[in-house]
């Protein structure tokens, strides 16, 4: 099993984002995921799995998340294609797309008011926890989740 959870999030309007910041984020989120996926494709044995990380913002389209969502949209495309490229190898390839989750990456730079507003956005009216997301990854990597393949699972408390 390989899980690639490395990611970088830089928030800015598209009009104002510094291109050096965009390049740094894409180097981690797109190139980093590509390299790990390539190595997983070469090494994961039958019955194994590869899980990448996207974001539910790809679907929610919150302002200032444009560059971040674009980088994670690339992760989703790679995930779906790799699942098909590994046809016949008995290896599952999926992505988890968390919604607002109480991690340092999510919390950093946000005011308590912003955090509270985002926590109330999902129908479950709370932030996800790292344990919530870990349980989804554990399922996808387990024998119970082996029939799930080529999917992006939005673990987000019910966000659209």
Annotated domain spans of the chain:
2-153
Could you please state the CATH topology (level 3) that the domain comprising 2-153 is classified under. Rossmann fold (3.40.50)
Per-residue pLDDT of the chain (160 residues; tens, 9 = 90+): 999 999 999 999 999 999 999 999 999 999 999 999 999 999 999 999 999 999 999 999 899 999 999 999 999 999 999 999 999 999 999 999 999 999 998 999 899 999 999 999 999 999 999 999 999 999 999 999 999 999 999 999 999 7
Question: How deeply is 143 buried, as exposed, middle or buried, from its count of CB atoms within 10 A (0-12, 13-18, 19+)?
Answer: exposed
Give the SS3 label for residue 101: strand
> Full-prediction pTM beyond 0.75?
yes
Confirm whether 68 is a catalytic residue. Answer: yes
* Catalytic pick among 68, 71, 93, 152: 68
């Amino acid at each position: 099993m390989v899980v690639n959870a490395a990611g970088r999030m830089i928030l800015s309007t598209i009009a104002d984002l510094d291109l050096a910041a965009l390049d740094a984020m894409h180097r981690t989120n797109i190139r980093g995921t590509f390299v790990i996926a390539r190595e997983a494709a070469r090494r994961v044995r039958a019955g194994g799995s590869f899980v990448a990380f996207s974001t539910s913002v790809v679907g929610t389209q919150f302002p200032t998340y444009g560059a971040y969502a674009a980088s994670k949209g690339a992760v989703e495309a790679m995930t779906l294609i790799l699942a098909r490229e590994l046809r016949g190898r008995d290896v599952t390839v999926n992505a988890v797309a968390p919604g607002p989750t109480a991690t340092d990456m999510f919390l950093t730079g946000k005011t308590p008011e912003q955090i509270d507003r985002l926590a109330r956005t999902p129908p479950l009216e709370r932030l996800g926890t790292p344990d919530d997301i870990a349980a989804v990854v554990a399922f996808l990597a387990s024998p119970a989740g082996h029939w799930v393949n080529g999917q992006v699972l939005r673990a987000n408390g019910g966000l659209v």
